Structure 1
């Protein structure tokens, strides 16, 4: 990968080299090496954590001081509110003064008065097969290459981008990659030797021309999320990795786990002599026949192995009654929990299929007596100390339904460790324990980043799918669902492929953590100055679509730091949050965005929800915070294109809102002129400056719906009704 202007772009002389070779500088301080830097700022953070007022910040995560410190890499990343955000912004703003002037043909991008952008509304087609995008899974993600187009459109090199719902940190990746020539060119742009970026347009004569619109160079990024699991992933996505050390340690851990647990994953071939290495074992729930009450394995009786399909009807092996899955009842069994010193009920299961290899050749077999004896022996072992014992959502023991994702029968487990079969518990516990014991912070976190995305795949959430190419991470996303047939993979089958892919990604993406600052708490209380952000890209929570705190709980139990639910913007029965509470929480978040954004700058909101009420809540909250919507587009996921949408209740597709924060004293003038004719025309003149004059598709001029008087009025009336009755007070604008 190629970069231009090293002071503004990706630093391919990674931080890992600095750590080994000598001094590092951070926030104006020079340290002997990176370990000394981290030790210094860790002690400063430790001191802050001992301040009771610091822990009262809205959205402060749940966790002990030591667990928060163990996860953090201050000042770049903290698993709590980051006290150094303002310092990074001051440093980045100072660096802007030294950057070269940016002349784009006849247009000049001024850093203050001359800044002007029209809303981004071009067609975008970015798939989800990029190796970097797939380096770590999450509930929802926007491809970083799609975000790059927005950042390149709205910002200059060195500008500060903010994402308050950062998830896995794709906005940070996109900001850094704006400095990579090859990646920018892969978007279909041209890059001149001096770093000027050109895009293809159609001129007045219908001819294709290349026109300058941006400049090659990395942007800075402030990344925030309420979830410690999310910010952990985001930081590791955006920080350099010593690839050789990572590969060496990962392979060492796999080898040691094989030495300890390899006997658990051995099986005899059908010849009764040759040992095979298991890839995965398929477990089936046990049901009872409604006619004779005998127990039967659904998979043993209903699977047509030759044709790879499950039969709709089959006969009971005991009485011959024709059965279907709907006519069966699950068999439960009582299990004694040595950790809790009590019994609990689970659905009864048995291993039905073993898929194994001998010298690279794959075989299948029905478990024999030796296999069942090994399973029984493993069941008698103690649960590894590194396996979390947390009660789901930390609910009280007398509360059966621990959250919105609890489901009777299919998601009624009570504790984190209950979702792991005994063999998987031993293997995962060993893997996590060995990675956690590594002293080197960056190496330890890179290994945990590799392991944490396999946690669900080791559990009984991992489905057995007859025609699946692989049985790695075959769980349903967005829910907790325990299927009737689960695939229990071995550590090697689960992790070796992911290790190879991560090594490739780490080798090709030279991240620079000096370009990011990661924060963990609520957007409404991020410790940053007012009007310091140049551009915001955000993908907020979608009402009741996803319960992030519940879905992240299992991973956070391994990380030992948890989401503080009170600040979570979600519609949730278990949290007693309805549409009004969601609206108020989102409004507070947009207030935080508004305060942080510089006047005249843009916010892009990517949003997906099938309910018009949630969509309208987002638009109203955005407007009440002070933003003016300039464009709403629909994202066609099949074709990946944005098409203008003028219906305010259109929510069938992902929507992209382009809004701006007014400048030029508009707020003050509006307060005086809101109900006058002069006030109306002031809004119209100001608003039209932010809208495109023309749109073209091929050689044809397109109608600009945002300039239609009816659309302008839909922007004007909500603003007037909101601001005349509840104009933002100065107190709200200062933090």
Structure 2
């Protein structure tokens, strides 16, 4: 054993180079241990001041200092971040701001989920580093600083580092020529590490992120971990034995892999215990019966109608008698001579379990009361009120012993992460399934009626294989912060790119779900600034939106002008998406693209409707330049503000999107969407909107160059034309018709593709409107066509749009004049999309009609105190827009209060006007 220790020490000294001088933030130390000691003392001195920061974790100072590795990682707000930023900026060869130009980018966030880095340590939500690499490469240059304010396990830090790994870049499907990276033959980015700052409110998240982004000697780790496992097996081998079933009288022992436990219920008829496994499970038939009979009295039973059976026992960990659900072992899976077997527990197994239950644990383990919350209180009803109740006693013994040993290893933090990686799958929350594809139920505290007692040693051996695949070659280019993103210790205009996957409403109760991990650390999430919707925290959508606004305000402050933020969104609720979008725009960000994942195609398409949040979304936004902001403020009230905004916004948008001979319409370049973005920026920044939609339609195509229903800057047109000539077709934009606006866009798309008659459109239109919201008073097809499009009735020449379509698709009209009788016959009664001038005339007429409709709602509201049940959302939008322009904020609020709350919260335009009107009125 002494020789083993000597070899480990020698290996550690050789590979970790403990005696090698290190220079950190301008200070040179004899070795890394001296560095850590110095900065730990400095952190101790700074703690009283740092504690004033929002989100400072809950825990003792010594626990925070022990867990930290300053100045790179602190289990609290990191006071050295700006020092690193200064050093990094000195190292970096500055790129002139005028040279920086990037376009919105979307990528499949499922990319790389089988990579060892992804597999090593689980977490509730986790974006693979490969996916984040694509974003970082698109938006940054080598040496740029990337920030993630909701970093979870720190994959953004891993991704930033791997941007300098040529093989990792090639694994993404990109090609290399020296330092240049190419995507489908097009120059895409440059090879080179990016620096990163990652932050999370949760101590366990930032700790996992630290271990993923800190140099570790993997060989030394493997040897040490194996030694610890050998020590545990030697000490606790007696707990994992079971008698192997043999024909002869000789007793042989197998090694337990896992034990299946079953809930016990009470028969409502005879009051006898009902072992769920014995009554409902048919192993040979591979099924679990929903209906079964009591083996005692024969009455028919169903699990969801049964009461659980409870038992009372003494809990020495809390020195109390507790009442918990009765559970019994029903199946043991074990290994004997390299073969697997299964058996029912026998007397030996039952006596062993009893002996384990009576074993007094000498090493510390978490025995505190579970935090009260929406999720963490779920187990109270079965008597599992404290952290240790979630663990089988056998696993608690092993984990406790191992945790004590690992805490003694000061210079190998990866051991700590290796241990915590197993701390959820070794609980009673591990669900048994007959197909053996067992797992925990993510996002909740749930003890299934059939759960699997994973043997902790077995699982640790499995996780050791995952961790052994991690890279040893890591530079300390990632700084880790633990605290709230609503108060960051980062100087303004210092970050080059931000990637975030924030909490989305009530999807996950992060601080509650992390409590079981953090109870082992002794440091807990301060959930006061936690941006979630939670009943237990008294946080509704309003509080969630305000908290997200505070975070985005900080992101806006620290991001450089003209740089990008990517927000990954995975919630199915429109109201949560609208809150995110509202928060982003309120602080000053300009949304340039929202793309939804088409899971069938595995690609992203731009979307404009909030109903698309039923898919995975990627939101691309940028921080506008100081020059633009200044010009708009100086010209408030003038139409110049519109064109100042549009000029910079068009510069940010992609010029051409196409693949394999097919081009996509860039929806963000269409006049309607440009108008919406312009209005949103003006309203969110308290600037008057100086043009109507009708005037905008005319002016936008006069000031900028139109192509295929989109508009471009003069310096972009040549590039577009050059690429456009190489493709034959436009792909259809993905649309989900849910209201009048999306119905009009659907019609526009159909008619841009080919002019059609009402009879041609009607069948498909009726299919598309099946998902219209209940409150939506959708006009008939005829009215939508009359208000938004033009009909050729045979009077005068055939409009160019119809003529070009006919010449392209009908042989007998090719080369004919637009006045030709044959062409007119084929063109008659076809609807088509008008040119901008005529479109503006239609817009004016439609707006008058919508405002008349809005006034009728005002009259209805004045007569009755009831909420409006059915209405044209477009009329409400038009009315709100006019009221905003007239500064009639109270009118907006009055109408908003009479709309169903769901409608306001799920419509981005209505929410924008309503929220800002309330702000103007001081409500």
Q: Scaled by the length of structure 1, what TM-score is found?
A: 0.89
Q: Residue 22 of structure 1 is aligned with which of 5, 10, 20? A: 20
Does 2:158 match 1:187?
A: no
Q: Who wins on radius of gyration, i.e. which is larger? A: 2
Q: Is the contact between residue 375 and residue 513 of structure 2 (CA under 8 Å) also seen in structure 1?
A: no
Q: Where do 1:413-492 residues align within 5 Å? A: 413-440=384-411, 443=412, 445-469=413-437, 471=438, 474-492=439-457
Does 2:284 match 1:313?
A: no
**Structure 2 CA distance, aligned partners of 1:290 and 1:430?**
43
Q: Is the contact between residue 432 and residue 450 of structure 2 (CA under 8 Å) also seen in structure 1?
A: yes
Does 2:460 match 1:495?
A: yes
**Structure 2 CA distance, aligned partners of 1:181 and 1:254?**
36
**Structure 1 CA distance, aligned partners of 2:484 and 2:294?**
56
Equivalence for 1:274 = 252
Q: Is the contact between residue 323 and residue 383 of structure 2 (CA under 8 Å) also seen in structure 1?
A: no
SS, match of residue 610 in structure 2 = coil
**Structure 1 CA distance, aligned partners of 2:399 and 2:470?**
24
**Structure 2 CA distance, aligned partners of 1:350 and 1:700?**
62
**Structure 1 CA distance, aligned partners of 2:382 and 2:142?**
48
Q: Is the contact between residue 125 and residue 641 of structure 1 (CA under 8 Å) also seen in structure 2?
A: no
Does 2:117 match 1:139?
A: no
**Structure 1 CA distance, aligned partners of 2:480 and 2:13?**
17
Q: Is the contact between residue 124 and residue 642 of structure 1 (CA under 8 Å) also seen in structure 2?
A: no
**Structure 2 CA distance, aligned partners of 1:505 and 1:125?**
20
Equivalence for 1:322 = 300
**Structure 2 CA distance, aligned partners of 1:198 and 1:408?**
52
Equivalence for 1:4 = none
SS, match of residue 430 in structure 2 = coil
Equivalence for 1:518 = 480
Q: Where do 1:549-698 residues align within 5 Å? A: 549-637=511-599, 639-698=601-660
Q: Is the contact between residue 246 and residue 446 of structure 1 (CA under 8 Å) also seen in structure 2?
A: yes
Q: Is the contact between residue 309 and residue 466 of structure 1 (CA under 8 Å) also seen in structure 2?
A: yes
Q: Which moved more, 1:360-369 or 1:264-273?
A: 264-273
Equivalence for 1:733 = none
Equivalence for 2:351 = 373
What is the CA RMSD across the aligned residues, in angstroms?
Answer: 2.1
Report the CA distance shift for 1:710/1:700 in structure 2 as closer, same or farther (over 3 A): same
Q: Deviations over 1:641-694 (max 9, x none)?
A: 211111134211111111110114222222232332011111111111111122
Q: Is the contact between residue 71 and residue 78 of structure 1 (CA under 8 Å) also seen in structure 2?
A: yes
- The alpha carbon displacement at 1:456 in A equals 1.4
Equivalence for 1:251 = 226
**Structure 2 CA distance, aligned partners of 1:528 and 1:372?**
58
Does 2:76 match 1:80?
A: yes
**Structure 1 CA distance, aligned partners of 2:663 and 2:393?**
65
**Structure 2 CA distance, aligned partners of 1:361 and 1:700?**
56
Equivalence for 2:216 = 241
**Structure 2 CA distance, aligned partners of 1:145 and 1:642?**
16
The structure where helix makes up a greater share of residues is 2
**Structure 2 CA distance, aligned partners of 1:659 and 1:577?**
27
Report the CA distance shift for 1:19/1:36 in structure 2 as closer, same or farther (over 3 A): farther
Q: Is the contact between residue 632 and residue 640 of structure 2 (CA under 8 Å) also seen in structure 1?
A: no
Structure 1 unmatched ranges of 5 or more? 1-13, 100-109, 201-209, 396-401, 729-735
SS, match of residue 565 in structure 1 = coil
Q: Deviations over 1:456-500 (max 9, x none)?
A: 11111111111125x5xx211111111111111212321212111
SS, match of residue 141 in structure 1 = coil
Q: Deviations over 1:200-255 (max 9, x none)?
A: 1xxxxxxxxx2322110000000001011110011111112111221111111111
**Structure 2 CA distance, aligned partners of 1:653 and 1:678?**
38
Equivalence for 2:735 = none
Q: Is the contact between residue 200 and residue 484 of structure 2 (CA under 8 Å) also seen in structure 1?
A: yes
Q: Deviations over 1:68-125 (max 9, x none)?
A: 011110000000000000000000000003x8xxxxxxxxxx4322211121246787
Q: Which moved more, 1:16-25 or 1:598-607?
A: 16-25
SS, match of residue 262 in structure 2 = strand
**Structure 2 CA distance, aligned partners of 1:543 and 1:239?**
32
Q: Deviations over 1:696-721 (max 9, x none)?
A: 12223321111111111221112211
Report the CA distance shift for 1:464/1:85 in structure 2 as closer, same or farther (over 3 A): same
Q: Which moved more, 1:262-271 or 1:122-131?
A: 122-131
- The alpha carbon displacement at 1:16 in A equals 8.4
**Structure 2 CA distance, aligned partners of 1:122 and 1:77?**
30
Equivalence for 2:865 = none
**Structure 1 CA distance, aligned partners of 2:270 and 2:667?**
69
Does 2:102 match 1:117?
A: yes
Q: Which moved more, 1:227-236 or 1:28-37?
A: 28-37
SS, match of residue 56 in structure 1 = coil
Q: Which has the higher contact order (CA 8 A, sep 6+)?
A: 1
Equivalence for 2:813 = none
Q: Where do 1:12-161 residues align within 5 Å? A: 17=15, 19-20=17-18, 22-49=20-47, 51=48, 53-97=49-93, 110-121=95-106, 126-161=111-146
SS, match of residue 98 in structure 2 = coil
SS, match of residue 152 in structure 2 = coil
Equivalence for 1:9 = none
- The alpha carbon displacement at 1:126 in A equals 1.8
SS, match of residue 533 in structure 2 = coil
Q: Is the contact between residue 431 and residue 448 of structure 2 (CA under 8 Å) also seen in structure 1?
A: yes
- The alpha carbon displacement at 1:376 in A equals 0.9
Q: Is the contact between residue 331 and residue 347 of structure 1 (CA under 8 Å) also seen in structure 2?
A: yes
Equivalence for 1:731 = none
**Structure 1 CA distance, aligned partners of 2:583 and 2:523?**
30
Equivalence for 1:232 = 207
Report the CA distance shift for 1:226/1:361 in structure 2 as closer, same or farther (over 3 A): same
Q: Is the contact between residue 218 and residue 468 of structure 2 (CA under 8 Å) also seen in structure 1?
A: yes
- The alpha carbon displacement at 1:361 in A equals 0.7
**Structure 2 CA distance, aligned partners of 1:39 and 1:122?**
43
- The alpha carbon displacement at 1:127 in A equals 4.1
Report the CA distance shift for 1:68/1:639 in structure 2 as closer, same or farther (over 3 A): farther
Equivalence for 1:398 = none
Report the CA distance shift for 1:369/1:125 in structure 2 as closer, same or farther (over 3 A): closer
Q: Is the contact between residue 278 and residue 354 of structure 1 (CA under 8 Å) also seen in structure 2?
A: yes
SS, match of residue 352 in structure 1 = strand
**Structure 1 CA distance, aligned partners of 2:670 and 2:14?**
54
Does 2:200 match 1:221?
A: no
**Structure 2 CA distance, aligned partners of 1:164 and 1:20?**
32
- The alpha carbon displacement at 1:539 in A equals 0.5
Q: Is the contact between residue 325 and residue 382 of structure 2 (CA under 8 Å) also seen in structure 1?
A: no
Q: Is the contact between residue 379 and residue 445 of structure 2 (CA under 8 Å) also seen in structure 1?
A: no
Q: Is the contact between residue 79 and residue 231 of structure 1 (CA under 8 Å) also seen in structure 2?
A: yes
**Structure 2 CA distance, aligned partners of 1:416 and 1:499?**
25
**Structure 1 CA distance, aligned partners of 2:13 and 2:652?**
40
Q: Where do 1:293-312 residues align within 5 Å? A: 293-312=271-290
SS, match of residue 635 in structure 1 = strand
Q: Deviations over 1:123-179 (max 9, x none)?
A: 787241222211211111112111111111111100000000001111111100000
Equivalence for 1:541 = 503
